[in-house]
Structure 1
Amino acid sequence: MNATVLTGNRLFPMIGAMIENQLSRAYLESLSTEELLAVADKIGLDIPLDLNRTFIIQEILDAHAELLNVESYDLQEESADTFERKKNKPSSAIYNSTYIDVLLRDPVWAFVFWHIREQDRRTYEASHDFNGYFLRVSSCVAGKTPEGESFNIDVDIQDGSWYICFPAPQGWFTVELFVKKGRQHILLATSRPFRIPRTVRFSPLELEQHPLGPVLLLSGIEQMRIVYAKEYSPGQYSGCN
């Protein structure tokens, strides 16, 4: 992993804070993104360079907690009481913002994740004309504003992430998060533009003939919740459960 090399007067305090068990969210938030990547590299984390800094901080804190053999951050292993306490006191850095982001974790699909500011979410969902949320996948040119071609994906109010298979083997895309209120569609967040690699093919109809077909089938792809576009036309997609 490539990371910016820091001078001693910046790097040593970081390491000192870690050694003294004083690595905190407030301290990490005071660092630049390059310095966060350097800290992540120092403790052995492989962080994508384009990952949102909020998640870089969380990854560092989780790894640091494991190194110190302290409380696990896996909510599935926590008691119901502990989970309720954490839910009632969420991290302000994450829960006080609305965002959507995309990670190209695999050459066949992208991982889309988002969060809606808690106060805004409560307001939307308490409204009498609230009708849910949806994602809009749009084509764009070289990282610019979306063009007219797009398709929508309805998501559940509990959802915070989806795997999406894109309809074209190459090109630039954005993913937008909307709330539906009556007949209105209100834009909440837009991902950064991202490019699908030229060599990737996404058609599920050609999965058996795809060079990676056998590997994909063994990976359990058919059991994952992935959205495929039949053709790149607005609104045409199907789910794969």
Structure 2
Amino acid sequence: MDTKNITLPHLASLSTADLLSIADELCIDIPENLNRSFIIREIFETAEELQAEKTEGEDISEIELEEEISEKKQTLPDTYNETEICAVLRNPAWVFVYWDISAADISRLNSDFSFKSLCLRVSFWKNQDDEKPLEAFDVQLGFSDRQQYVLLSPGKNFVRIDLVALYSGGREDENLAVSRKIELPKGSEILNSLPGREVEAEKLVELSGLKGLLTTHFENHRQSFL
């Protein structure tokens, strides 16, 4: 029975026989000769309780449905089965690189006896339209790796990251995927200086703690300063 439309004015307009019929549908035991007003009150309170239970059940179902939809949205596939690479500049010193390799390329590389390993080739360019880079270095990868932070050389204009397959026997390297060229922001000259050297820096740069950060980078990634 629909309990939404059961109101006191509506019940008051009904005959006693109709009230007893509604009470019977709601499984309410009405004693004989019970005052009409008590019958109305009993029906109304029972209808309110049933409607509250129904609404609570609907709310729980809606919450569970929303959580299920949210879980589906948050669950991303491990791979999109495409060979591609993306580079995101974290700050002037670091770039975050992530990539994927399609199943077809994985199968092809695994079946090639001359395939040695994968690497990230970090290339620096003076101008965005230049065909050849000024310099480059490789970061060795494990075959299952899919992301990597890379420390950049200071004083450069543009950087591009390539996902490269290395082969033995004098076979030419293969670029599996290439990122876009990223323009590097021009920072303080202190970024081009080795820790320990006295350099003049703006007060704001000193307050930022950049000297301490530079020292940490030098201690852990000394080869990038050479």
User: TM-score interval w.r.t. the shorter chain?
Assistant: 0.5 to 0.7
Alignment coverage as a number of residue pairs? 151
Determine the structure 2 residue equivalent to 1:67: none
What are the Cα deviations for residues 2-33 of structure 1, in whole angstroms up to 9, with x where unaligned? xxxxxxxxxxxxxx9xx8343587xxxxxxxx
Q: 1:122 Cα deviation (Å)?
A: 3.1
SS of 2:99's partner is strand
Over aligned residues, Cα RMSD in angstroms?
Answer: 3.6
Contact 1:169 1:197 in 2 (8 A): no
Q: 1:103 Cα deviation (Å)?
A: 1.5
1:188 to 150, 167, 176: 176
Determine the structure 2 residue equivalent to 1:114: 99
Report 1:118-197 matches (<5 A): 118-140=103-125, 142-144=127-129, 146-157=131-142, 158-182=144-168, 183-197=171-185
- Which one-letter code corresponds to 1:228 in the other structure? S
Question: CA–CA distance in 2 between the matches of 1:179 and 1:185?
Answer: 6
Q: 1:98 Cα deviation (Å)?
A: 1.3
Determine the structure 2 residue equivalent to 1:206: 195
TM-score, reference length from structure 2: 0.52
- Cα–Cα, structure 1 residues 209 and 103, in superposed 2: closer, same or farther, change >3 Å? farther
- Cα–Cα, structure 1 residues 24 and 188, in superposed 2: closer, same or farther, change >3 Å? farther
Question: CA–CA distance in 2 between the matches of 1:193 and 1:159?
Answer: 22
Report 1:24-39 matches (<5 A): none
Q: Any stretches of 5+ residues in structure 1 without a counterpart? A: 1-15, 26-59, 63-89, 231-241
Higher Rg of the two aligned structures:
2
- Cα–Cα, structure 1 residues 24 and 177, in superposed 2: closer, same or farther, change >3 Å? same
Contact 2:195 2:214 in 1 (8 A): no
Contact 2:166 2:173 in 1 (8 A): yes
- Which one-letter code corresponds to 2:157 in the other structure? G
- Which one-letter code corresponds to 1:109 in the other structure? W
TM-score, reference length from structure 1: 0.49
Question: CA–CA distance in 2 between the matches of 1:24 and 1:146?
Answer: 46
Determine the structure 1 residue equivalent to 2:74: 61
Contact 1:98 1:189 in 2 (8 A): yes
Q: 1:229 Cα deviation (Å)?
A: 6.0
- Which one-letter code corresponds to 2:211 in the other structure? G
Question: CA–CA distance in 1 between the matches of 2:133 and 2:174?
Answer: 17
- Cα–Cα, structure 1 residues 227 and 97, in superposed 2: closer, same or farther, change >3 Å? farther
Q: Which structure has more helix as a fraction of its residues?
A: 2
Q: 1:130 Cα deviation (Å)?
A: 0.8
- Which one-letter code corresponds to 2:124 in the other structure? S
Contact 1:144 1:193 in 2 (8 A): no
SS of 1:147's partner is coil
- Cα–Cα, structure 1 residues 192 and 24, in superposed 2: closer, same or farther, change >3 Å? farther
- Cα–Cα, structure 1 residues 24 and 224, in superposed 2: closer, same or farther, change >3 Å? farther
- Cα–Cα, structure 1 residues 102 and 227, in superposed 2: closer, same or farther, change >3 Å? farther
- Which one-letter code corresponds to 2:173 in the other structure? H
Contact 1:166 1:229 in 2 (8 A): no
What are the Cα deviations for residues 48-82 of structure 1, in whole angstroms up to 9, with x where unaligned? xxxxxxxxxxxx626xxxxxxxxxxxxxxxxxxxx
Question: CA–CA distance in 1 between the matches of 2:193 and 2:100?
Answer: 29
Q: 1:113 Cα deviation (Å)?
A: 2.0
